[in-house]
Amino acid sequence: MRNPAQNGQLALLLEVAGTPKPGNVDRHRDYDHLRFEHFLTGAVGASPGLRAAADGVPIGDAFESAVEGMSGQSGGNTQFGALLVTVPLVRAAASDRLTPEGVTAVVEATTVEDACAFYTSFEHVDVAVDDPPEEIDALDVRRGATATDALRERGLTLYDVMALSADRDGVADEWCSGFERSFEAAGWLLDDEGPIYRRASRTFLRLLAAEPDTFVITRNGEAAAEEATRRARAVLDGETDAEALAEEFVARDINPGTTADITAGALFIALERGLEV
């Protein structure tokens, strides 16, 4: 029987194996410098951090360890956001609290030092993020460890940091909403039938069809994000071919990465709740 840390790693692997996931690396599609093999290696590298989360190491330290391990491949950022979703879920599952209320208690209990470790994790890998509002420029995550003095001066926990971004970042919003979308999508996976790679694809498309992907907004703009959502709905309605859309979005570099991150979280929850592999 797998433990939560093992299911966390398996969720990362099953997420990237899901296909078709328009715009994402999957078992059939690569980008020029970011490939399927990089995601597999990243998932393996993240395992010490996932074990740390399950063993009770502070969330920030466990997350930084996972990111540092994930970065040990030549592709760059593969699963930063997915780990930001799965690490607190692993902690909740390891303490028999894998419910919206339980994981909310986990993230609300984070500390200033957790926030500092989160910022330090940005020194391990490049992550595409929006410019912060001018009034919190000192808290720009791209400052990495140099921002820790500002975090300590303001007494901001990691949960507080997520709350500052929840209105413009889908993963931060998960932290502040009881991981609502992850739990809902886990139900879809459990209710679905067939190979998990197809269930993951359908779950990804349902999530993307429900609301614009914030990573696409950051990299490509709101119009592209709205288009991606509209066209995901067209796939679900049988009006567009998912494989063709996947090829097109890869060619146009429209990558709904936040949707993939939440899909990974959903896969973890579903595995913990009995999804058979």
**Coil, strand or helix at 26:** strand
Task: Give the per-residue pLDDT at 135.
Answer: 66
* pLDDT for position 1: 87
CA distances from 25 to 12, 52, 255 (A): 12, 27, 9
What gap in Å lies between CA 37 and CA 78, rounded to an integer?
A: 10
Mean pLDDT of residues grouped by 10 in the chain (277 residues)?
97 98 96 97 98 98 98 97 98 98 98 96 90 74 86 95 94 98 98 98 98 96 98 97 97 97 98 97
Residues 6+ apart with CB under 8 A from 146: none
Integer Cα distance of 99 and 92 in angstroms: 8
Q: Which residues contact 156 (CB under 8 A, 6 or more apart)?
A: 112, 115, 139, 164
- pLDDT of 133: 72
d(CA 238, CA 5): 37
Domains and CATH numbers, the chain: 4-272 (1.10.4200.10)
Which is nearest to 93 in space by CA: 275, 274, 268?
Answer: 268
What is the predicted pLDDT for the residue at 241?
Answer: 97
pTM score, two decimals? 0.96
Q: What is the structure's pLDDT at 77?
A: 97
Cβ contact 43:86 at 8 Å: no
Which helix (H) or strand (E) segment holds residue 139: the answer is none
